[in-house]
Amino acid sequence: MSDNSMIEVEVAYALPDKQKIYGLLVDDGTTALAAAKQSPLQNDFEGVDLEQAKMGIFGQSIKKPSEHILQAGDRVEIYRPLLADPKAARRKRAEKAKASQ
Tell me the pTM.
0.77
Tell me the pLDDT tens digit for each residue of 14-31.
Answer: 998 999 999 999 999 999
Evaluate whether residue 20 is within a structural domain: yes
Question: What CATH number did the domain enclosing 28 receive?
Answer: 3.10.20.90
Please report which confidence band the pLDDT of residue 1 belongs to, taking 50, 70 and 90 as the band edges.
very low
Tell me the pLDDT tens digit for each residue of 19-76.
Answer: 999 999 999 999 999 999 999 999 999 889 999 999 999 999 999 999 999 999 999 9
List the domain range (segments joined by +) for residue 47.
6-100
Separation between Cα atoms, residue 7 and residue 92, nearest integer Å: 46
Evaluate whether residue 1 is within a structural domain: no
Backbone angles phi, psi at 99, to 5 degrees: -70, -30
Backbone angles phi, psi at 69, to 5 degrees: -80, 130
Say if CB 72 and CB 9 are below 8 A apart: yes
